[in-house]
Amino acid sequence: MIHIITATNSEAKFFINYLKLKRISSIKEFQIYFNDKFSLTVSGIGKVNSAVAVCSTYHELGKIKNNCWINIGIAGHLNSFIGELFIINKIIDNSSLINFYPYSPNISKIKQLSCTTYEKADSKYNDSLSDMELSGFFQTANKYSFKELIHSLKVVSDNKENPFNYKENTGIEKLFEAKKNYFYAFFEKVISIWSENIANDKIIDEKTNNLLSKIKTTQSEHEQIKKLLKLAYLKKKKIETNIFASESDPKIILSILKKIL
Amino acid sequence: MKIKNLYIEEDVLKDEKAIRIQKKLRYENKIICKNYREVFNPKNQNFRIQKKEPSVILAKKKRNLILEAPKKFNIGFSENYYFSHMLNCIYDCNYCFLQGMFNSAHYVIFVNYDDFLLNIKDKLNNSSNNICFFSGYDCDSLALEDITGFIEYFVEKFVKLNNVTLEIRSKSTNIKSIKKYHPSNKIIPAFSLNPENSITLHEQNTPKLINRINAIKELQNLGWNIGIRFDPFIWYGEISKMSIFFEELFKSINKNRIHSVTIGNFRMTNSYLKRMVKINPTDPYILEKQIFQILPSKNDDTEIKIRNIKEKISEFIDDSKIFIN
């Protein structure tokens, strides 16, 4: 699953419609929308909000490790034109001066740039994009997922010649819509990285957990059986899964598995 | 060489060697960092994903440039050190401890060779022993020579020093840089070898055994004494046939131009192995090794006793040249 985090409703609106997401009405703290492949959470402005939104999304949606996380939002830049889309390859936290380096997959025709996360809106503009969420998002998502599965896309909303107008946020949806094809290509790339590297393990994990749920074990027996079952699947050894239905003694199951392997 | 991103430390932006290396690389993005550790060290990176599309980090090694070699890491010298001009390797051996030791698969190239040399001289000045320095511990010494110029810099420096030996350990057949120099007893080109079926199963992207043997022969014909490294030695099949493998191998190379032979098994600390399983969840070889550690009752039949291997090798090579690592 890809979890998208945006700061505001106006940044979220395009994706809610484009991906046909439905709101989870039982969750009150944040607006969380989802379908079978994506979730989208509106975090509110600021890095603390963004961090808490990641944390809530993780816990509300099944505490699944190593899903994909993407922060998508608008950002200011010195001279890039309004509507230009960037993949972020370096995050600078302006308060702590700690830098982070997302994996930033290369997608043709999407340029890469750094983004500086500020505590307050930055009106000075420089050669790094500026936002108010990304460092908080990235640090928190990295607790739940590999760095290579965490990304950020920024669309330039303002520059030195066209400073940000807080009263006029109706155009934001159109800025995102204009980049629809690029977002699609990016999502495809992110899903392919996940499928090639993470998906198989999750399938095996599910199979082993299903079998293990049928017997009572100590923690140590659970770990040992899980590892042996996984090895059996990886080595494509035939396991009589009905032993888990007929045999409840984990010690006997362990010894059967050791014999098979 | 084509890479994903080039990361470069602020401190080496104007460094001549770093500039030369940049010119040899094709990259999509150049990203400036304060210190290579910012990119290389953070936790929860996926070594396997990075390995498919690695980046290069150009940096300066500031501390611990020369380290004492582990006690067992020995080819007959009483004092042994290792140094790494590079971290990580272009090859992809599934038994490699670097996957467990490093958080990142990116190639870090340290460009301050002069500082390494100063530290080497310092060790020599403070010792009366003949010291051996190993260069292929955290990387492959030859594989990226065309980019790093490691051999080009260090071989002629070592030849001029006294009481010193440099081991250049590699799986690469990229020997043209060594061939430029006159053979010297102070330099030991050393090649890691395994049977071809083990290479296919465990050493992705590495040269075939026959090509490594040809590289050894070529250097021996030029007068170089070569180190042969079976570390780890991975054997599938009947033990009785192991002698045939060694017989064919030692028949095809010049036994009189062998400096030393080392033998080792797969060995890994629990913490490295745990991390390797986390990032390699679908590799049965790694998972099985972990199971052997946590379930001692399940014996690892694939691990042949080192002394059996030594016995077989000593049929062809003098015992004094064989070392168990």
Angle at which helices B209-221 and B242-252 cross, to 10°: 40
Percent of chain B having pLDDT more than 70? 97
Inter-chain Cβ pairs, chain A and chain B, closer than 8 A: 77
Return the SS3 of B272: helix
What's the burial of B260, exposed, middle or buried (CB within 10 Å: 0-12/13-18/19+)? buried
A231 shares contact with chain B (CB less than 8 Å): yes
**Among A91, A130, A22, A109, residue whose Cα is nearest residue B38:** A91
Assess if residue B154 is contained within a domain. Answer: yes
| Tokens 């993005």 sit on residue | B29
Q: What is the pLDDT of residue B299?
A: 59
B-chain residue closest to A143, CA distance: B44
Distance from CA of B17 to the nearest CA of A (A): 24
**Nearest CB neighbour to A148, from listed B7, B46, B294:** B46
Assess if residue B279 is contained within a domain. Answer: no
Q: What is the pLDDT of residue B304?
A: 66
Inter-chain CB proximity A258 and B46 less than 8 Å: no
Domain of B261, in residue numbers: 60-266+303-324
Q: The domain at A2-197 falls in which architecture? A: 3-Layer(aba) Sandwich (3.40)
From A38-47, A179-188, B101-110, B305-314, the region with the lowest mean pLDDT: B305-314
Inter-chain CB proximity A143 and B5 less than 8 Å: no
Q: What is the pLDDT of residue A167?
A: 66
Tell me phi and psi for residue B130, to 5 degrees.
-80, 120
When divided into structural domains, chain B yields a total of 1
Residue A153 sits at the vertex; the CA angle it makes with A163 and A157, to the nearest 5 degrees, is 15
B284 shares contact with chain A (CB less than 8 Å): yes
Q: What is the pLDDT of residue A125?
A: 93
Inter-chain CB proximity A101 and B284 less than 8 Å: no
Residues A112-133 have pLDDT tens digits of 999 999 999 888 899 999 999 9
Q: What is the pLDDT of residue B292?
A: 84
> The tokens of A62 are what?
């099944």
**Nearest CB neighbour to A234, from listed B31, B34, B282:** B282
Cα separation, B161 vs A36, in Å, equals 66
CATH code, B155: 3.80.30.30
Cβ contacts of A112 within 8 Å, gap of 6 or more: A86, A87, A88, A89, A104, A106, B28, B29
Q: What is the pLDDT of residue B303?
A: 57
Residues A186-244 have pLDDT tens digits of 999 999 999 999 998 889 888 898 888 888 889 988 989 999 999 988 988 877 777 77
A108 shares contact with chain B (CB less than 8 Å): no
Section A240-254 average pLDDT? 78
Distance from CA of A168 to the nearest CA of B (A): 34
What's the burial of B278, exposed, middle or buried (CB within 10 Å: 0-12/13-18/19+)? middle
Cα separation, B195 vs B245, in Å, equals 7
Cα separation, A42 vs A79, in Å, equals 28
Q: What is the pLDDT of residue B300?
A: 59
Cα separation, B290 vs B119, in Å, equals 38
Section B234-257 average pLDDT? 93
**Among A39, A40, A42, residue whose Cα is nearest residue A29:** A42
Residues B10-63 have pLDDT tens digits of 999 999 999 999 999 999 899 999 999 999 999 999 999 999 999 999 999 999
Residue B41 sits at the vertex; the CA angle it makes with A1 and B206, to the nearest 5 degrees, is 85
Assess if residue B55 is contained within a domain. Answer: no
Q: What is the pLDDT of residue A236?
A: 84
Q: Is the separation of the CB atoms in B7 and B23 below 8 Å?
A: no
Cβ contacts of B194 within 8 Å, gap of 6 or more: B202, B203, B209, B230, B233, B234
DSSP B10: G
Assess if residue B289 is contained within a domain. Answer: no
Residues A81-121 have pLDDT tens digits of 999 999 999 999 999 999 999 998 888 889 999 999 999 98
> The tokens of A196 are what?
């090639």
Return the SS3 of B301: coil
Residues B102-159 have pLDDT tens digits of 999 999 999 999 999 999 999 999 999 999 999 988 999 999 999 999 999 999 999 9
Cα separation, B174 vs B289, in Å, equals 32
Mutate to test the interface with A, among B47, B50, B282, B298 (most CBs of A within 10 A): B282
Inter-chain CB proximity B49 and A112 less than 8 Å: no
Assess if residue B85 is contained within a domain. Answer: yes
DSSP A116: E
Give bridge partners of residue A90 from the DSSP assignment. Answer: A114
Q: Which ipTM did the prediction report?
A: 0.90
**Nearest CB neighbour to A227, from listed B282, B287, B297:** B287
Cα separation, A223 vs B291, in Å, equals 10
Cα separation, B55 vs B43, in Å, equals 17
Residues B251-303 have pLDDT tens digits of 999 999 999 999 998 888 889 999 999 888 889 999 998 888 877 665 555 55
Assess if residue B46 is contained within a domain. Answer: no
| Tokens 């465990």 sit on residue | B202
Q: In what order do the strands lie in the sheet with B29-33?
A: B29-33, B5-9, B56-59, B107-110, B86-87
Cα separation, B84 vs B102, in Å, equals 14
